[in-house]
Each structure stands twice: as structure tokens, then as C-alpha cells.
Structure 1
Amino acid sequence: MSLTIMMNQFIEFSTNHWEMVALFVAILITLVFVERKNGPAGLTASAATTLINNEDAVVVDIRPEKEFKTGYITGSINIPATKMKDNLKRLEKHKDDPIIIVCKSGVTSGPSAKDLQKAGFTKVYKLQGGVAEWQSSNLPLVKK
């Protein structure tokens, strides 16, 4: 199917179903706004690796200790999410360094990252997909 035919079909669909297209655009804009408002930017495993290698980013793994010991990113500091607010002093010396928050699947890192930002940490990121994505990208984990 040629590009011209596909574009014509897209334009015809958009004209005939403008309400659905408008709703889709509104939802997309809302998602982008909410994601930006919800704090720190997400990093891919590749971008995180670059930040770790080039800017000595600090990796903070917020999984429970038992889960952390099953495999973690080299050099990670384990501070479980439930204990983050009580352990901010452990990270104080890294206040101006890039910090990458890591959880199991990338879903629960947001609140911990926001806590760090509220405490004055300037370069806070979340690892998209968490340790699961790190592993699926064939990046190494340290296992005790």
C-alpha cells in the first residue's frame, strides 16, 4: 500500500471521526502533562548506563533488601522505598550528583524520586522498566 493511499485513508478517517481523533489528542496531551508533572524524568537502561559511566551517577535501588540481594546494578545503594525518608542523610553527599532511582519494574520509583527532589536533590531520574528492563537489555547484575 502506498504512502499516498494511507495518508488519504487517514485524512478520511480523521474527517469522518473527528470526535475520536480530538479525544485521542486530548488524552495524549493529558498523559504527557501528567508524566512531566509527576516529577523526575525516566531513563532507558542505555541512557542510565551512559549517565553512570560518564557522570558517575549514583544508583539507588529501592527494592526490599531480600529482593535487592537477588541481583542489583553494580555500585547500587539499597535504600528500601519504605525507609527512604529516614535515610536521606546517607545520600546527602550526592545532593548535586545524578541519582537514578531503581525499582523492580519502574512503576514504584516515582514517589521515592519525588522525595529526593523535595529534599533538594537536583538531578534525580527514574529507571524506566526498573531492574526487569535492565536485565532484558542484557546488562549485568551483581548477585550475592
Structure 2
Amino acid sequence: MKFILDNWALILLALTSGGMLAWPVLRGAGKGSLSAQGAVQVINRQKGVLIDVREPEEFAAGHAVGARNVPLAELEQKLPAVVKNKALPVLLLCATGARANRAVATAKKLGYEQAQAVAGGMKSWNEANLPVEKVAARAGA
């Protein structure tokens, strides 16, 4: 007991640092989500399909190369037409990961058991220096 009383500041520091390390897991970043690099591996090795659930304007401003745009509000209706094979991994991507995490629940409800969110969304995709493309403006539009 004397040790605890004499070293309370060190114990508090250890508990605080441990809590900071555990924070991403506690808030769900590790549950059902994949890093940007992990997503690329799933795409290359398991023929994963990358679905960007942002709005069309956000998608046009810059998206992961090869991603298909299915806005979150339309996911339930359009995902079965975009990804016919429910056995394939479906990787859901948005700006920061929040919408993608909601999209995982919708995809799993539709029978896509290998649905996963890309943790950190386009923010982490860009930070990992992974390829991004923009939709070219149409002539006369």
C-alpha cells in the first residue's frame, strides 16, 4: 500500500498511457475495419471490391483508383447490382471511416459477410500515398 501511495503519479501515468494505446480499439477502429494497406492486399489477393460510399461530388473530387461509387443512402438498393458475388470481400470507404462503418452493417444485412470498412477512409488512403484519381470534368457541362 505504501508503494502505491509513494508512486501514485507514476501509476497514473502508466494507466493514462495504457488507455491512450487502447483508445483506437475501444472506439472500434480495429473491429471490422482494415488499414488502407490491408485493403490493397485484399483487393490484390482476394479480388476485393472497393466501394466508396461518399456522395458523388466527394467521389468526383478524388477517390481511390478502382473504387466504385455507391452513396451510403443508396447502398441497400444498388450494392447487389454492383457486387453480384456475395462471397467476394467488399471494402467500404468514405472520407474518415464513419459512414463506411455504418455501410458495413448494411452490407452484412444484404449477405456480404466479408464486408469491412477501410479505417480512416480517404484520409488514411491519402496518408498512405495510395493512388487517387479524379473524375474529369465533361466538356460542355
TM-score range relative to shorter protein? 0.7 to 0.9
* 1:41 corresponds to which of 32, 47, 51: 32
1:100 matched to 2:91? The reply is: yes
Inter-CA distance 91–12: structure 2 relative to 1 (3 Å threshold):
farther
Q: Distance in 1 between matches of 2:131 and 2:109?
A: 31
Aligned-partner SS, 1:108: helix
Where structure 2 has 5 or more consecutive residues not aligned to the other structure, the ranges are 136-141
> What secondary structure, in the 3-state scheme, does the structure 2 residue paired with 1:93 have?
coil
SS at 1:35 equivalent:
coil
Q: Name the structure with the higher helix share.
A: 1
Hey, what does 1:129 align to over in structure 2?
120
Indicate if the aligned counterparts of 1:58 and 1:94 stay in contact, CA closer than 8 A: no
Shift of 1:138: 0.8
Aligned residue pairs total 132
Give the partner amino acid of 1:46: Q
State yes or no: 1:72 paired with 2:80: no
> Under a length normalisation based on structure 1, what TM-score does the superposition of the two structures give?
0.73
Task: Output one character per residue of 1:11-36: Cα deviation in whole Å (capped at 9) or x when no partner.
Answer: 847x85889x89x989x99x857739
Whole-angstrom distance in 2 between the partners of 1:92 and 1:134? 22
CA deviations 1:89-144 (Å, max 9, x no partner) are: 21451311001000001122111110110111120110011011101111111112
Q: What is the CA–CA distance in structure 1 between the aligned matches of 2:73 and 2:54, rounded to whole Å?
A: 9
Deviation at 1:88, TM superposition (A): 3.0
Partner of 2:110: 119
TM-score (norm 2): 0.75
> What is the alpha-carbon distance in structure 2 between the residues aligned to residue 118 and residue 112 of structure 1?
10
Q: CA offset at residue 51 of structure 1? A: 0.7
Please tell me whether the aligned partners of residues 70 and 79 of structure 2 are also in contact (alpha carbons under 8 angstroms): no
Mapped to 1, the partners of 2:76 and 2:61 lie a distance apart of 24
4+ runs deviating over 2 angstroms: 15-19, 31-36
Alignment partner of 1:89 out of 80, 92, 105: 80
